[in-house]
Structures are given as structure tokens and as C-alpha cells.
Amino acid sequence: MDKTISLSYTGQLHTDAIHLRSGTSLETDAPIDNNGKGESFSPTDLVATALGSCILTIMGIAATRDGINMDGATADVLKVMGANPRRIIRLEVSIEMPAHAYTDKQKAALERAAHHCPVANSLHPDLEEVITIQWSE
């Protein structure tokens, strides 16, 4: 079996992950509200990060395809946790688009792309996702 990521538990609720193709690594820690120290991304933070990153990436693919400049776009993600069972119940992704003269057609294409990322399609349907896009003019 080919592997994509290799992880190891390093103690004290920390893990190290290595992306095998690039060698890039990251650490996780349990969040403060779940016995951790909050010293790094928690596993659920990575889910929130994956959604925001995926949305920007899919929008970037659409932008490249359609000749739209979206360099400098940013996203902020709010993660809301629930209990019984402990899980992510809501992810709010707020995207700030850079000041360019976007046409209504370009805005529609990018908004459509934002709502069709593979991470969003992989999340449980009970998880509420809210995506907002601010168009700087």
C-alpha cells in the first residue's frame, strides 16, 4: 500500500505527521478544552484548516481556468465544537477577495467553486457549513 502521510504519537497528546511526497511535517496537540495544552493545531483544527484550504484551492483552480486573478485571497475559519458526542458541529469560512474588478460572471464562477470542494463533500452532512465571500472593490 502506498502511503500519503506517516504519523507518530510523541507523547503528552502530541503527534507528528509527515507528508511523504514533500517531507513537510506538522505537529498536533489536543486542545485546551480536551486535556491538551493547545500548543499546536488540534486534529479538529486540521479539519477546519482543510476545509478553508480546499475552498481557496478549488476557487484557485476555477480562477486559473477562467483567467481570473485571485492572488491575495484569504480565508478565516471558525470551528464550533459540540458535545455528546464531542465533534465539530459548525464550520464558518469567511473569504476575503482582493480588490479586483470582478464581473458578476466571475463572482458566480468563484462562488460556485467555493461550494464544491472535495473536503466539504467528505464531511458529515450534519456538520453545518457556512461560507461567506466578501468582495473588496
Indicate whether 20 and 50 sit together in one domain.
no
**Same domain, yes or no: 29 and 64:** no
- Whether residue 136 is predicted with pLDDT greater than 90 in this model: the reply is no
Peptide bond into 85 cis (omega under 30): yes
Residues 57 and 115 in one domain: yes
Give residue 74's domain range: 43-135
Residues 81, 115, single domain; the answer is yes
Cell numbers that stand for 54 in this block: 480546499
Q: Are 76 and 130 found together in one domain?
A: yes
9 and 72 belong to one structural domain: no
Query: pLDDT at position 2, please?
Result: 87
**Residue 131, amino acid:** I
**Number of domains forming the structure of the chain:** 2
How far apart CA 69 and CA 87 sit, in angstroms, is 36
Residues 47 and 29 in one domain: no
Which residues share a beta bridge with 29? Answer: 14
Assess whether 22 and 49 both reside in one domain: no
Residue type, 78: L
Residue % of the chain over a pLDDT of 90:
95
| Domain shared by 15 and 80, yes or no | no
pTM for the model stands at 0.93
Confidence check: pLDDT of 1 > 80: no
Residues 54 and 113 in one domain: yes
Same-domain status, 129 and 81: yes
**pLDDT tens digits along 23-75:** 999 999 999 999 999 999 999 999 999 999 999 999 999 999 999 999 999 99
Q: Looking at the predicted structure, is the pLDDT value of residue 112 above 80? A: yes
Interval 85-102: pLDDT, tens: 999 999 999 999 998 889
Output the domain CATH number for residue 103.
3.30.300.20
